[in-house]
C-alpha cells in the first residue's frame, strides 16, 4: 500500500506540475510566452523520469484502508462497477459537457448546462448521488461511511483553508519586489535555469500550494527572461519546467495534497514525512537535474 500510494501520488504530482493543460503549467507557459506543445513534449519526458521515486515506498507496509473498512461479505458486495463509478464520472461528464455545449442552439439549455457544469455544482450532484446510492445499504452503513468520509476530508479542508489564509498574508508583503531585485543582478550562465526552481521551491515550501507557487514564480520570472538569457525560443519551455519542478519541492503538512495522500492511504504524519515529503523532494530535485541537462543539450 505504501509503494502504491507513493507511486500513484508522485505520478499525479509530476504530471500536474509539469504537463499542461493543468492550470499552473498553462498559466506559466502563457506568462513566459512558451510554446505549449514543446512544454507538453518536454514535460512528459521530465515527468517520466521523476516518477522513478516510487521506490521510496517499498520498505514500508501499510494495511490497506479498504481491508479495514469493508467486509467483503457485506451488503456492498452486490454493488456493480457502474454504480460505484457513477458518483465520480457524473461530475466529470457535467464539467466536460459545459465546455463543449453549443450555446447557440438554445439559451435556456446552455444556461442549465453552464450551471450544472460549474465544478461546485457538479461535485455537489456527485455527492448527492453517492448519498442516494449509499442509502440503499441502510442508515447504519450510511452513517458509518459518512463519518469515515468526514474524518478523512476534514483535515484536508482545514489545511486548504489555512494555506489560503497564509497565502493572503504572503501576498500582502513585498516579497515579489524583493525576490525580483535579488534575481536581476545574478548571472549563472546556463545554470540560470536553476533560479526559477529555487524561487518556486521556496514559495511551495512556505505556503503549500503548487499552483500558487507556479503562477507566482512565472509572474516574477517573466520580466527577467531576457536578463537571465532564457528568452530564446528553444530555451523558453525550460523555465516553465524548472518552476514546475520547484513547485513539487516539497510537499508537507501545509500542503492539502499531503493530507489527501496520507488520509486516504492510512499514513500517519511521521511515515507521511518519510514517504510523501521525501518522495516529493526526490522528484523535484530529479526534475531540475533533467531540466538542466536539457538546457545544455538544447542550447
**pLDDT digit string (tens) for 214-224?**
888 888 888 77
Cell numbers 444556461 correspond to 111
C-alpha count within 13 angstroms, C-beta hemisphere, residue 22: 22
Residue range 78-92, pLDDT digits in tens? 567 788 888 888 888
Would the pTM count as exceeding 0.75? no
Residue range 125-165, pLDDT digits in tens? 998 998 888 888 888 888 888 888 887 777 667 766 766 67
Residue range 24-78, pLDDT digits in tens? 888 888 888 888 888 888 888 888 887 765 565 566 666 655 544 444 444 444 5
> What's the Cα-to-Cα distance from 108 to each of 105, 111, 114, 121, 244, rounded to whole Å?
9, 5, 10, 17, 41
- The torsion angle over the Cα atoms of residues 282, 285, 287 and 288, rounded to 10 degrees, is 180
| Whether pLDDT at 241 is above 90 | yes
Per domain, the residue ranges of the chain are 2-70+139-298
Query: How large is the C-alpha radius of gyration of the chain?
Result: 22
Residues 98, 119: Cα–Cα separation, whole Å: 10
**Element housing 14 (H / E):** helix 2-18
What is the residue-averaged pLDDT of the chain? 79
Amino acid at each position: 500500500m505504501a509503494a502504491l500510494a507513493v507511486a500513484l501520488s508522485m505520478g499525479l504530482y509530476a504530471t500536474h506540475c509539469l504537463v499542461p493543460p493543468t492550470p499552473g503549467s498553462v498559466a506559466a507557459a502563457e506568462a513566459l510566452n512558451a510554446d505549449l506543445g514543446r512544454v507538453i513534449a518536454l514535460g512528459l519526458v521530465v515527468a517520466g523520469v521523476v516518477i522513478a521515486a516510487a521506490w521510496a515506498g517499498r520498505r514500508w507496509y501499510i494495511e490497506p484502508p479498504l481491508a479495514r473498512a469493508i467486509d467483503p461479505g457485506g451488503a456492498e458486495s452486490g454493488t456493480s462497477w457502474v454504480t460505484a463509478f457513477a458518483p465520480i464520472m457524473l461530475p466529470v461528464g457535467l464539467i466536460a459537457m459545459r465546455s463543449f455545449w453549443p450555446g447557440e442552439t438554445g439559451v435556456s439549455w446552455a444556461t442549465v448546462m453552464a450551471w450544472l457544469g460549474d465544478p461546485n455544482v457538479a461535485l455537489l450532484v456527485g455527492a448527492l448521488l453517492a448519498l442516494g446510492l449509499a442509502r440503499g445499504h441502510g442508515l447504519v452503513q450510511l452513517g458509518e461511511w459518512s463519518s469515515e468520509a468526514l474524518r478523512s476530508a476534514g483535515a484536508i479542508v482545514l489545511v486548504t483553508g489555512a494555506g489560503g489564509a497564509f497565502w493572503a498574508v504572503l501576498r500582502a508583503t513585498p516579497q515579489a519586489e524583493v525576490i525580483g531585485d535579488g534575481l536581476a543582478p545574478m548571472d549563472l550562465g546556463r545554470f540560470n535555469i536553476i533560479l526559477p526552481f529555487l524561487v518556486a521551491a521556496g514559495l511551495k515550501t512556505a505556503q503549500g500550494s503548487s499552483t500558487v507557487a507556479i503562477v507566482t514564480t512565472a509572474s516574477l520570472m517573466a520580466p527577467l527572461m531576457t536578463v537571465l538569457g532564457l528568452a530564446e525560443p528553444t530555451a523558453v519551455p525550460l523555465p516553465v519546467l524548472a518552476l514546475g519542478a520547484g513547485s513539487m519541492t516539497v510537499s508537507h503538512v501545509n500542503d492539502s495534497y499531503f493530507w489527501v495522500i496520507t488520509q486516504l492511504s492510512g499514513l500517519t504524519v511521521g511515515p507521511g514525512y518519510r514517504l510523501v515529503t521525501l518522495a516529493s523532494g526526490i522528484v523535484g530535485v530529479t526534475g531540475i537535474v533533467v531540466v538542466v541537462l536539457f538546457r545544455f543539450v538544447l542550447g
